[in-house]
């Protein structure tokens, strides 16, 4: 059995609902699958002495889960005052409208189609609620609308699906683009180097204690996969599905459709850079 501390990013191990940092509490959604890992992490964020909270990614449209998020906040003496979305995939955002009904909150997101209220989210925005400060970090690549949220007081970053607590994420072609994703990883790396971020609060999987190690692993993994895809094309594998069967032969076949999205994004990247 591998020691979790020896794995990329130093994951904490078992994914549990409950406190993760001084200001962040996880409520794990009951939607586990090969793609969502243990389920969606719905994050409740608040200053310890504040009665107001922010919720990031209410998760799927699952009434018991949404009510559990509200109840968890209320048991801690908090009222949910704002809902934020890292991106629009259903496992993160489908429950947002219903959650807004339950809490009376606005929903802020990069994509206008996901917003409920007048305010969106964009690069450089700072969200403040009850003394809590969150800095919006654009991290497109997994999807065009992907955002991360820097929580300076806890030296943490909420990454949605840009960095997961276990394994690696999908560049969801055609919406997701590999060049954007690599730039986003470098942007997150700068948070670890320049801003002291050491904890990743991911959208799925366990909390990561070594944010810089996680980012470096993701960058190395992407470079390795890109080289494999380039070599596969050179060796006569002309289609994305054939490349997946060749390059991802050691990956669970149930994940091949998702892997094909990443391969298509990699092929686009190689073509754009004149490498194939």
Pick the catalytic residue: 38, 57, 91, 180?
Answer: 91
132 and 55 Cβ atoms separated by less than 8 Å: no
Query: What are the DSSP E strand ranges found in the chain?
Result: 18-19, 24-28, 41-45, 52-56, 79-84, 107-108, 126-129, 132-138, 147-151, 156-160, 199-202
Q: Give dist(CA 148, CA 122) in Å, integer.
A: 11
CA–CA separation, 68 and 29 (whole Å): 9
Q: Is 252 a catalytic residue?
A: no
Residues 213 and 108: their CA atoms lie apart, in Å, by 30
d(CA 180, CA 154): 27
**Residue 258 neighbours by CB distance under 10 Å:** 18
Beta carbons within 8 Å of 250's beta carbon, 6+ residues apart: none
Q: Which of 136, 148, 213 is nearest to 184 (CA)?
A: 148
Report the catalytic residues: 91
């Amino acid at each position: 059995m591998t020691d979790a501390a020896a794995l990329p990013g130093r994951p904490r191990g078992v994914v549990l609902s409950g406190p993760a940092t001084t200001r962040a509490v996880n409520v794990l959604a009951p939607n586990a699958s090969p793609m969502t890992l243990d389920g969606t992490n719905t994050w409740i964020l608040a200053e310890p002495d504040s009665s107001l909270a922010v919720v990031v990614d209410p998760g799927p449209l699952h009434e018991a889960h949404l009510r559990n998020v509200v109840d968890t906040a209320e048991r801690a003496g908090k009222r949910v005052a704002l809902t934020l979305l890292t991106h629009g995939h259903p496992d993160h955002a489908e429950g947002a409208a219903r959650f807004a009904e339950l809490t009376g909150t606005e929903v802020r997101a990069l994509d206008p189609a996901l917003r409920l209220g007048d305010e969106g989210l964009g690069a450089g925005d700072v969200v403040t609620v009850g003394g809590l400060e969150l800095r919006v970090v654009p991290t497109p690549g997994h999807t065009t609308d992907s955002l991360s949220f820097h929580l300076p007081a806890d030296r943490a970053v909420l990454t949605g699906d840009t960095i997961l607590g276990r394994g690696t994420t999908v560049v969801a072609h055609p919406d997701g683009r590999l060049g954007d994703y690599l730039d986003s990883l470098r942007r997150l790396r700068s948070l670890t180097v320049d801003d002291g971020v050491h904890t990743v609060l991911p959208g799925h999987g366990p909390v990561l204690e070594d944010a810089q190690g996680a980012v470096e692993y993701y960058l190395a993994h992407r470079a390795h996969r890109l080289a494999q895809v380039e070599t596969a094309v050179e060796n006569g594998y002309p289609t994305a599905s054939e490349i997946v069967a060749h390059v991802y032969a050691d990956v669970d076949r149930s994940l091949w459709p998702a892997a094909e999205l990443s391969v298509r994004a990699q092929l686009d990247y190689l073509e754009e850079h004149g490498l194939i």
